[in-house]
Structure 1
Amino acid sequence: MSGKGNAKGNSIVFLGDTGFPNGWAAVQRVTLLGRSLINVGCEVRVVCRLGVWKKDLKTDYGKEGVHEGIPYKYTVDSPFRPDNSFVRKYQKAKGLVGEFFYLVELKRKGKLDAVILSTLNFNDSLRYKIYSIIMGFPIVFNFVEMSSALKRRSSLSMRISDWLMENWLIKRFDGVMPISDKLYDFYSDLAPTKPILKVPVICDYNKFSGIDKSGSEPYFLYCASIQFKEVAEFVLNAYQSSKSLEKVKLYLLISGKQIEEISAFQKDIIKRFPLGNVKLFSNIPYQELVQLFIDAQGLLIPLRPNEEDAARFPHKIGEYLATGNPVVTTSVGEINTYFKDGVNALVSKNYDVKEFASRMDYILDNPKEAKIIGKRGKELGLKTFHFDNYGESIKNFIRDLL
């Protein structure tokens, strides 16, 4: 069951996230937000209007089902992306119409009190805002990125869309849940009278408990999307200039749909490190990912000194902390809010290869102290980033909007 859903404000629908329940950080955040609400008596469901799964995706899920207690529904014929362009256009239109009437049905049955919206798309967001006016439900925006700061959103149409989203539409939502202080301050300045609730990176720490180290070879680990290839190159440079090059290996866990780009990156790594010091893993199962996190000597996540990284709060940080292993990062954005170098993480003051390498070396030179730092990081995570800590406050936040 997905909660009781029998009181005003208890029926929450997630919109805007395509790909559920298959996906990485965005889908995992929606899942954890949903579970946190279920655990405080809410009824939760996810509605997706587009089929985006790749044909070769191995999954037991269909167009409708339940994932970790959360019912979901696709309003198209299949959650898989059609190969034919005509079929894609037809399914897009069908999903759009189907979504509207499904939301009308949910509202009529008393199963739609509020929406949590997760999308950077201006057109989609505007449509949902119109739906909210027609059907009479509030929208809470799940604010996790400053879209205008993303390099991949560089076309003129995207820049116009992002400007309209960030300067006009976002302040017309009923409430916002920013993931970082920078996004919190941005929204507070933009819409000072609107309700706002910060919900930082969240993680299910129970999934990391009771898992022992497997006794594998020593290694550092960096995990990210291929979209952050430039940061992966920074990590490779830091590894190459550190003592760890001779003592431990470096594991890169790279996710993404760009198979050719990942393959080319792997070939470059083999040429650069012919002795096999660096291993690249791609799109591996989640439980295998957790084990790799737990077995690592140190977990690396350098943030760049730019607006994009200052605004976001990577999902992997929560998972890194859950292992109890030391985290190595840089003094950018949310890192400054929660972490102190040598206390609960190893924090490089600058985004500098040699300085970051020195923080990696600290783990090898001071294993006992590094273990204590990792333990403190886990304690911080359990107190501040465990998903169950936020269900009640989110439920009350939404109820106050009704």
Structure 2
Amino acid sequence: MLNLIFLGGFDYPHGMAGTRRIQNAINGLKGHPNISIQVIVLRQSSKKNSLAGVHHDITYETVMGDLFGYKLVFSMPLLYWRTRRKIHHLFKQGQSNVLYVYGPSSFDNSSAINYARGLGYKIIFDIVEDHEHAYHISKRLMHHAKIRHIRRLSRLALSKAHGIVVISSHLENKILSLTSGAVPIHKLSISIDMALYPKPYVKRDNSIHLLYGGSFGEKDGIPVLLNAFNELASKRNHVKLVLTGQGDDESMRILHGCIEASPFKNRISYRGYLDDNSYYQVLQEADILCMPRIDSEYAQAGYPFKLGEYLATGKPVIASSVSDLPKLLRNRKDAMLVTPGDSSAMAEAAGYLIDNPEQSRRIGESGRAIAKLKFDYREQGKDLYNFIHAIAASG
């Protein structure tokens, strides 16, 4: 019997990219025989989620709720103790115990990981970002302290891991080099549930709605998108922009400043953070979906989770050509790929899609076919299960 415990600082059961990645992994695994799954969330806000419960037949528990900022600093010993106690409680004698850690070893999970290894858990890390390049994405002191701590811990922790899951080719190559090939690596790209996108949406008006949904960090290139929209809106009166998602205080100030400075701000709608059902509805109602990542080492290392969701809708997607995207998507066939950071190229791509509706439809259909073939969690779950099972069975 495989006893699989997911551990991380992601929101659960409802949240953004990290939450959806973990949930899709769980959904792809839980149908296999002889496996039990539970989720330990280190800390999250009680305003977003219940701190404990059952979601999709999976039991989850938050170690400490509403633990952020300086409150976190003073409560670290208690967080360590409670996490270790929970991991000890979930360990099952006579079974194969695996701790699946979302993200790198950091100040809030390193104690628990070391304790779990000592108990007899096999440790698997799921790495989705390259924190070697993460210093510049925020000016906050807490962020810089966190990244320094992660960088110190990660190299040692990864070398002692029993297995590592990565989201991109960049991370696969980097970790292969760091571990000298001694640790098994499994590439798990972005994942989606195609059942959430069952039918094409029928337009109700003549407006063209561009949409961005996700985080608002520096890597996400929101000012680039807003500049592209301003250029497009100056020539087309029927174009509107819809934004949904969230970011830290610094990122949100930049977002609202860009909206306020736009001469077309009356055609920009910021919907805030949406629950899952509302978010998927907004995706289906959009005409063109935009992913304007910038060209930075940090952005190039990851793999934007939202891309899979965008493609699955069957709507045409405009995406910055970063990470593994050029290997996956054909420009003007499966998506419109543009130079990262180039707002004029993004505006031109949107104009092309608006002026060529039949080609736009074909691009959307082809992108959806790619999503179904490459990102469906059901297919990914088979390979992930085999990887975890092999790690659990190893000596």
Tell me which interval the TM-score lies in, with the shorter structure as reference length. Answer: 0.7 to 0.9
Quote the residue 2:314 is aligned against.
324
Consecutive unaligned residues in structure 2, runs of 5 or more: none
Aligned to 1:282, the other structure's residue is in SS state coil
Quote the residue 1:378 is aligned against.
368
Aligned to 1:130, the other structure's residue is in SS state helix
Q: TM-score w.r.t. structure 2 length?
A: 0.88
Aligned to 2:360, the other structure's residue is in SS state helix
For residue 198 of structure 1, report the CA deviation from its aligned partner. Answer: 0.3
Aligned to 2:271, the other structure's residue is in SS state strand
Which structure has the highest strand share of the two? 2
Superposed, 1:179-190 pairs within 5 Å as: 179-190=167-178
Question: Do 1:254 and 1:262's aligned partners in 2 also have CA atoms closer than 8 Å?
Answer: no
Aligned to 2:217, the other structure's residue is in SS state helix
- 1:48 counterpart = 2:32: no
Quote the residue 2:244 is aligned against.
253
Of the structure 1 ranges 192-201 and 209-218, higher mean CA displacement relative to structure 2 is found in 209-218
Identity between Structure 1 and Structure 2 (%) = 21
Code of the aligned partner of 1:64: A
Quote the residue 2:14 is aligned against.
22
Aligned CA distance change for structure 1 residues 89 and 159 (closer, same or farther; 3 Å): closer
Question: Do 2:213 and 2:306's aligned partners in 1 also have CA atoms closer than 8 Å?
Answer: yes
Aligned to 1:113, the other structure's residue is in SS state strand
For residue 334 of structure 1, report the CA deviation from its aligned partner. Answer: 1.6
- 1:202 counterpart = 2:194: no
Aligned CA distance change for structure 1 residues 166 and 81 (closer, same or farther; 3 Å): closer
Could you report, residue by residue, the CA deviation over 1:90-142 in whole angstroms, capped at 9, with x for unpaired residues?
A: 5x544432322222222245566101101345234532442233111211110
Separation of aligned partners in 2, 1:110 and 1:296: 51
Code of the aligned partner of 2:184: P
For residue 337 of structure 1, report the CA deviation from its aligned partner. Answer: 2.0
- 1:163 counterpart = 2:151: yes
Quote the residue 1:277 is aligned against.
267
Separation of aligned partners in 1, 2:248 and 2:341: 28
- 1:33 counterpart = 2:21: no
Quote the residue 1:239 is aligned against.
229
Could you report, residue by residue, the CA deviation over 1:349-371 in whole angstroms, capped at 9, with x for unpaired residues?
A: 45322222111111111111111
Quote the residue 1:399 is aligned against.
389
Aligned to 2:187, the other structure's residue is in SS state coil
For residue 218 of structure 1, report the CA deviation from its aligned partner. Answer: 2.3
- 1:114 counterpart = 2:98: yes
For residue 227 of structure 1, report the CA deviation from its aligned partner. Answer: 2.0
Aligned CA distance change for structure 1 residues 14 and 242 (closer, same or farther; 3 Å): same
Aligned to 1:378, the other structure's residue is in SS state helix
Separation of aligned partners in 1, 2:95 and 2:268: 50
Code of the aligned partner of 2:137: R
Superposed structure 1 runs of 4+ greater than 4 Å apart: 81-86, 109-112, 153-156
For residue 327 of structure 1, report the CA deviation from its aligned partner. Answer: 0.7
Code of the aligned partner of 2:172: Y
Aligned CA distance change for structure 1 residues 93 and 129 (closer, same or farther; 3 Å): closer
Separation of aligned partners in 1, 2:370 and 2:285: 20
Aligned CA distance change for structure 1 residues 245 and 49 (closer, same or farther; 3 Å): same
Question: Do 2:226 and 2:258's aligned partners in 1 also have CA atoms closer than 8 Å?
Answer: no
Quote the residue 1:142 is aligned against.
126
Separation of aligned partners in 2, 1:133 and 1:272: 53
Question: Do 1:49 and 1:98's aligned partners in 2 also have CA atoms closer than 8 Å?
Answer: no
Could you report, residue by residue, the CA deviation over 1:256-284 in whole angstroms, capped at 9, with x for unpaired residues?
A: 353x8636743652442356122112112
Question: Do 2:168 and 2:324's aligned partners in 1 also have CA atoms closer than 8 Å?
Answer: yes
Of the structure 1 ranges 100-109 and 287-296, higher mean CA displacement relative to structure 2 is found in 100-109
Aligned CA distance change for structure 1 residues 175 and 218 (closer, same or farther; 3 Å): same
Aligned to 2:204, the other structure's residue is in SS state coil
Quote the residue 1:172 is aligned against.
160
For residue 378 of structure 1, report the CA deviation from its aligned partner. Answer: 0.5
Q: Which of 35, 57, 81 is the matching residue for 1:69?
A: 57
Aligned-residue RMSD, C-alpha = 2.7
Separation of aligned partners in 2, 1:120 and 1:153: 18
For residue 31 of structure 1, report the CA deviation from its aligned partner. Answer: 1.1
Could you report, residue by residue, the CA deviation over 1:71-96 in whole angstroms, capped at 9, with x for unpaired residues?
A: 101234xx34489949x845x54443
Superposed, 1:212-231 pairs within 5 Å as: 212-213=201-202, 215=204, 217-228=207-218, 231=221
Aligned to 1:300, the other structure's residue is in SS state strand
Quote the residue 1:3 is aligned against.
none
Aligned to 2:89, the other structure's residue is in SS state helix
Separation of aligned partners in 2, 1:214 and 1:80: 41
Consecutive unaligned residues in structure 1, runs of 5 or more: 1-6
Aligned to 1:164, the other structure's residue is in SS state helix
Quote the residue 2:137 is aligned against.
152
For residue 35 of structure 1, report the CA deviation from its aligned partner. Answer: 1.3
For residue 298 of structure 1, report the CA deviation from its aligned partner. Answer: 0.7
Aligned to 2:137, the other structure's residue is in SS state coil
